Amino acid sequence: MIGPGPGDVAPTRAQMGRGLVRRILLPSAVLWVVVVGVGFTLVDLIGIDESAISESAVDMRTESLNTITAVVSELGNTQVLMGTCLVLVGIIWALSRQWWLAVIPAIALAVEAAVFLTASLVVGRPRPEVDQLDHAPPTSSFPSGHTGASTAVYLAVALCATRIRTTWLRITVQVLCVLIPLGVGLSRVYRGMHHPTDVIAGFLVGATCALIAWNWIPLRESAERVANASQQQPAAA
């Protein structure tokens, strides 16, 4: 069901080490600097006030929406998402028989968690001053961890889903993987847990982490060069 990409081969330990530093650690460090810089700009330099939006979200509350957003928000909970990620990794591994493809959602989640936990500690933005429907975790408001983590995992799965050969199944999986993080982000604002810019930052952080994890696939560049070279040889002859 999930087919290989161009030139997919198992990586060596040396390639894994080089890929870890060049494709994951360095981009993650750059992402952390950008997140902290944006956080300080919004909170300390601009002092952006989003209280009106948070108060409007409170005015929209109903018992039905409270129940729905509680369920959707829980999809971005750390424990729930870790369990979901393990299941998704297992499914991708079973269908593709390629562990280096299957671990992409786990890499995305690990990178997002590292960036989020340290960046939120440095920025230290208070949560909205409205009635909050959930217990506030010890981390600060910027960026939204629930949104970032769910975006990282589900967009990573959406990227892996590009290998699905069945068109309708591929599109269905990718649409769901986009809708779930959007629902989590909106639920976090509705429930008074985050400012809108926290959620926007969470989306961007999570999407970047998914791309960082996807770019880790070993030998992608070298395999494409080999494939291109082999295609050009007959023409040259």
Q: Hey, what are 230's tokens?
A: 């082999």
Residue 31 pLDDT level (bands cut at 50, 70, 90): very high
The domain spans of the chain are 65-217
Residue 56 pLDDT level (bands cut at 50, 70, 90): very high
Residue 78 pLDDT level (bands cut at 50, 70, 90): confident
82-86-91-92 Cα dihedral, nearest 10 degrees: 90
Q: What is the pLDDT of residue 83?
A: 95
Q: What is the pLDDT of residue 218?
A: 62
pTM score of the predicted model = 0.84
- Which 3 state secondary structure label does DSSP give 215? helix
Query: What's the rounded Cα separation, in Å, for the pair 221 and 237?
Result: 25
Residue 230 pLDDT level (bands cut at 50, 70, 90): low
Whole-angstrom CA distances from 177 to 24, 77, 94, 169, 207 are 22, 16, 19, 12, 12
Q: What is the pLDDT of residue 8?
A: 53
Q: Quickly list DSSP for 42-68.
A: IIIII----HHHHHHHHHT--HHHHHH
Structure confidence by residue, pLDDT tens digits, 9-26:
555 566 566 667 777 888
Q: Hey, what are 115's tokens?
A: 């960036």
Share of the chain above pLDDT 70, in %: 83
Residue 215 pLDDT level (bands cut at 50, 70, 90): confident
Give me the amino acid identity at 47.
G
Structure confidence by residue, pLDDT tens digits, 36-54:
999 999 988 888 889 999 9
Residue 74 pLDDT level (bands cut at 50, 70, 90): very high
